[in-house]
Amino acid sequence: MLPFQNGFFGYRGRIAFVDLGSRAVRVEPADPAFYRDYLGGRGVQALLLYDHLKRNGPVRDPLNPANRIILGNGPVNDTHVATAGRGSCSFIGTMTRSPEPAAWLPAHAPLFGLLTHASAGGVFPNMLKRSGLDHLVIDGRADRPVRILVSEGRVAILDAEDELFEDVGGAKVPKTASAITDILAGLHPGSSTVCLGPAGWNRVAFACLTNDKHRNFGRGGAGAVFGSKNLVAVTAHGRDRAAYFDQARFQALGKELDGQVKAHVGDSKWTASFRPEAGTTWWLDRAFNGGYLGKQGGYLPWHNFDEGSFDPVDFAKVGTKAFLEMSGPPKVCSQCRHIMCTRAAQVDRPPYAGSGVRPEFETIALWINCCIVDRDAVFHINHLCNEFGVDTMTLGSVMAGAMELAEKGCLAGFKDAPAFGSAPDMIRTLKDIAYRSSPLGELLGGYSDRAIAGVAAGRPAADLEGIARCVTTAFGGLGYAGIEPKVFPGMFAAYATSNRGRGDHTYAWTIQAEEGGLQGAEELAAYVAAGQEGKAIVDSLGLCDFFTEDTASDLFLGLYRALTGIEYTADAFKACGRRIYTLERRANNIQGRGRIYDAYIPPKLTEPLTRGAHAGKAVDPARHDAILNAYYRKQGWTRDGMVEPALLRALGIEP
């Protein structure tokens, strides 16, 4: 047994602090109060980042050594609860920034990057727990390329081996994520690795970190933060497991819970029922054709969010059925059972022949938004993103913006600008971004306001608004997800208020509720807030978005007590979600976030759809404003979206 575990059940009770600048490593016992109030994973990491900001002030440049990045897991990780393999990565994001005044947005206020949490599965999160850590906190910047090894409770900073790099156009660049993973697996048999790819090394604002070759801490730019720290990879290895408070009871309740998950996945009335076969690609047909409660589709974005509907013949090439036809056996995260959304996939025909994993709905949808309707190309580009370490979703939004700019003649000064519908153009531009190997790749690899300024440079001042209009990731946007933002006002509010940035869909999801008739501002605001608080709990426990059961049920809370020894009422457990979400928001207030950010509507989203069942719909600024007011009231924030000291005290965040 490693030191510090005594007294902790379900946790390892150890947090490692690494300063890459001084090469100092400190492993400390965790404070049990952290775990009681913030659960683990995302919640505890938000607290560790909030403390960092309080002590040092805002992180004005997320690529500066002052940024902190934390990898970790939660109490349920590495147990037999279905989907208990999701880990946490927290940092100040490199994409969600807008530090300079933006002439195209008179109401602009500086934003330095948002507190971002990314969740990923694979094996790494559970292996980090077995290696003896709940959290690995990384500060500073190394003076040469390094990697971190966590093995059986010991943490070491090692010089990164030359074999992890290759020469690309005269520059020394890390190899692809799968090559790095294979090399480190050879050096440390039985281990698991999370690493950047070339994009992270080149500090692309939407570079991700990759676990086990195809599971990504995707959104916000974790890969760029690793790159800015000269950090190539973290490898974990261990055999030891956390102790249970009452293992026999945990097993009995775990069996009951597992039976419920299995029953719900097998019940066609539950949306979970489609996951084992179609995974998230089920949503392609749903968003295009509809079918839920007799509602119509028409909300699959097309041509940079101009439309939610397009030619059905084109859709058939990239619909759910097309991706089912390429699907192989399940290829799932550690501890995933029953739900199992991911499949292996294969393409046999050139030019995109290869094997890997089936792309997710959001990826496919956002590349359809670039008018790419070549299924095999989507598979191939998804594979390249995994290799280069690029977030597929933000790439989709950045690429759609570039395609529209090119269509309007605004990229005439750049060679090889991408055109809507061209997969070869998208592949070339992706490579240029990941390797920063052309002026356009250099421009598109930065945060979006920087790209707007770069395109506008040397052009008439009157062009500026038109250029910014093409870029839906402007003003620190993370990039909208694959549900057309013009159709669902509640989902637009969820996009607007997600703590990790405008456009994120994972913190609250309203589509079924809105199709079911939910529409008042107060009702939508309450639904969004409840979803965000629930997701904060799921992320903090170490579970997946797709976990089917109620985490505040008597059964789950009984299981949780058997695991950790900590007893909660349903209200006290839910209060942890509100505490975490509020703390994150307060941290984001420090980083410059307020109402101005949440209220921003990219101008093109106020232009109505012209095709399909939702023709005529657009984002209505007055309605968004009303939902935002109701949302702030529900959250107890000020009209400007600020968290005040009294609320921090009431929730136990501050004494």
Shortest Cβ 342–ligand SF4 spacing (Å):
4
538 binds ligand SF4 (CB under 6 A): no
Pick the closer one to ligand SF4 by CB: 20 or 508.
Answer: 508
Q: Which of 143-151, 167-175, 258-266, 330-338 is the region at the interface with ligand SF4 (rule: CB under 6 A)?
A: 330-338
Q: What is the rounded distance in angstroms from the CA atom of residue 177 to the CA atom of residue 232?
A: 10
CA distances from 32 to 2, 38, 570 (A): 17, 10, 20
Q: Which of 72-80, 290-298, 328-336, 383-391 is the region at the interface with ligand SF4 (rule: CB under 6 A)?
A: 328-336
Q: Which of 336-344, 384-392, 500-508, 623-631 is the region at the interface with ligand SF4 (rule: CB under 6 A)?
A: 336-344
Shortest Cβ 277–ligand SF4 spacing (Å):
12
Site for ligand SF4 in 2-61 (CB under 6 A): none
- First-last CA distance in the chain: 35
Residue in 8, 112, 165, 546 binding ligand SF4, rule: CB under 6 A: 546
Shortest Cβ 511–ligand SF4 spacing (Å):
18
Q: Which of 192-200, 329-337, 553-561, 577-585 is the region at the interface with ligand SF4 (rule: CB under 6 A)?
A: 329-337
CB 404 within 8 A of CB 304: yes
Pick the closer one to ligand SF4 by CB: 218 or 301.
Answer: 218
**Tokens in use for 367?**
């590349």
Give the binding-site size for ligand SF4 (rule: CB under 6 A). 12
Q: Which of 158-166, 340-348, 449-457, 619-627 is the region at the interface with ligand SF4 (rule: CB under 6 A)?
A: 340-348
CA distances from 632 to 493, 586, 625, 629, 644 (A): 11, 13, 11, 5, 12
Shortest Cβ 179–ligand SF4 spacing (Å):
24
CB 213 within 8 A of CB 446: no
| Coil vs helix vs strand at 15 | strand
Residue in 81, 336, 430, 528 binding ligand SF4, rule: CB under 6 A: 336
Work out whether the CA dihedral 585, 590, 591, 592 comes out positive or negative.
positive
Residues contacting residue 520 through CB under 8 Å, at least 6 positions apart:
none
Instruction: Report residue 419 CA to chain centroid gap.
Output: 27
Q: What is the rounded distance in angstroms from the CA atom of residue 474 to the CA atom of residue 494?
A: 18
Q: Which of 139-147, 331-339, 402-410, 529-537 is the region at the interface with ligand SF4 (rule: CB under 6 A)?
A: 331-339
| Closest-CA residue to 274 (of 224, 218, 227, 340) | 340
Residue in 63, 111, 341, 430 binding ligand SF4, rule: CB under 6 A: 341
CB 243 within 8 A of CB 564: no
Binding-residue pattern over the window 425 to 464 for ligand SF4, x denoting contact by CB under 6 A: ----------------------------------------
CB 33 within 8 A of CB 43: no
76 binds ligand SF4 (CB under 6 A): no
79 binds ligand SF4 (CB under 6 A): no
544 binds ligand SF4 (CB under 6 A): yes
Shortest Cβ 545–ligand SF4 spacing (Å):
7
Helix (H) or strand (E) holding 553: none
Pick the closer one to ligand SF4 by CB: 160 or 339.
Answer: 339
Shortest Cβ 126–ligand SF4 spacing (Å):
11
340 binds ligand SF4 (CB under 6 A): yes
Residue in 333, 378, 453, 651 binding ligand SF4, rule: CB under 6 A: 333
Shortest Cβ 124–ligand SF4 spacing (Å):
12
- E-strand ranges in 238-309 read none
Q: Which of 294-302, 335-343, 498-506, 579-587 is the region at the interface with ligand SF4 (rule: CB under 6 A)?
A: 335-343
DSSP symbols for 337-362: -S----EEEEE-STTS-EEEEPPPHH
Q: What is the rounded distance in angstroms from the CA atom of residue 126 to the CA atom of residue 141?
A: 26
Shortest Cβ 271–ligand SF4 spacing (Å):
12
CA distances from 502 to 161, 432, 643 (A): 38, 26, 18
Binding-residue pattern over the window 171 to 210 for ligand SF4, x denoting contact by CB under 6 A: ----------------------------------------
Shortest Cβ 383–ligand SF4 spacing (Å):
18
Q: Which of 20-28, 332-340, 375-383, 635-643 is the region at the interface with ligand SF4 (rule: CB under 6 A)?
A: 332-340
Q: Which of 253-261, 333-341, 416-424, 441-449 is the region at the interface with ligand SF4 (rule: CB under 6 A)?
A: 333-341
Pick the closer one to ligand SF4 by CB: 228 or 334.
Answer: 334
Task: Reduce the secondary structure of 122-160 to three states and give it as a string.
Answer: CCHHHHHHHCCCCEEEEECCCCCCEEEEEECCEEEEEEC
Q: Which of 44-52, 102-110, 138-146, 338-346 is the region at the interface with ligand SF4 (rule: CB under 6 A)?
A: 338-346
CB 283 within 8 A of CB 315: no
DSSP symbols for 372-403: ---HHHHHHHHHHHHHHTB-HHHHHHHHHHHH
CA distances from 273 to 354, 360, 534, 577 (A): 29, 17, 21, 27
Pick the closer one to ligand SF4 by CB: 85 or 298.
Answer: 85
CB 212 within 8 A of CB 401: no
Binding-residue pattern over the window 110 to 149 for ligand SF4, x denoting contact by CB under 6 A: -----------x----------------------------
Please count the other Cβ atoms lying within 10 Å of the Cβ belonging to residue 337.
Answer: 16
Pick the closer one to ligand SF4 by CB: 123 or 544.
Answer: 544
Residues that bind ligand SF4 (CB under 6 A): 83, 85, 121, 332-333, 336, 339-342, 544, 546
